[in-house]
A = this chain, B = another copy of it.
């Protein structure tokens, strides 16, 4: 299979200037507000999106340089296989962020709970649909018990942010 080629459909504007500033997950960003700027040729595709409270953003994590198959997430300091983690350093660095949609003005999608660095290229927006995207009683391996639960399912990290996804 040849290379797969994508083009950004927009760009994320956030308060996080560098990966070190960014939270490791959207849930760790609190109410960090941001704007997703959708390029003019795609704006008509935003129709009806404002009925959804949450949307899925797929982004190209453009600052990522390389990866290791063996990573040590800050959650527990153990070495883990790359694909059992949400590290941004992946063979294909695609970030998956579920964020809260606040409003849409033209090509500007206002959201809260973002974890992306300012300037991150946007690949896709999908509506978040619980019947598709929620699983009953899942097990989540080595991550179970690693997170402290706060109110409203806001999960806090005990260690420094890593800009992960």
Partner of A153, one of B44, B127, B136: B136
Residue of B with least CB distance to A122: B92
Provide the residues of chain B in CB contact with A134, threshold 8 Å.
130, 133-135, 153
A69 proximity list for chain B (CB < 8 A)? 42, 44-45
Q: Does A49 sit at the interface, judged by CB under 8 A?
A: yes
Size of the A side of the interface (Cβ < 8 Å), in residues, is 71
Residue of B whose beta carbon sits closest to that of A119: B1
Contact with B along A105-136 (1 / 0, CB 8 A): 00000000000000001011111111111111
Question: How many monomers of this protein are in the complex?
Answer: 2
In Å, the complex CA distance between A139 and B85 comes to: 28
Question: Which among A1, A5, A81 has the greatest number of chain B C-beta atoms within 10 A?
Answer: A81
What is the chain B residue whose CB lies nearest that of A71? Answer: B45
A25 interface residue per 8 A CB criterion: yes
Map CB proximity to B onto A76-110 as digits: 1 under 8 Å, 0 otherwise.
00001111111000111010101000000000000
Min Cβ gap A59→B in Å is 10
> Would you call A83 and B45 a contact (CB within 8 A)?
yes
A138 at the interface (CB under 8 A from B): yes
Name A119-165 residues within 8 Å CB distance of B. Answer: 121, 123-143, 147, 149, 152-153, 155
Q: Which 3 A-B pairs have the closest CB atoms?
A: A51-B141, A47-B81, A45-B82
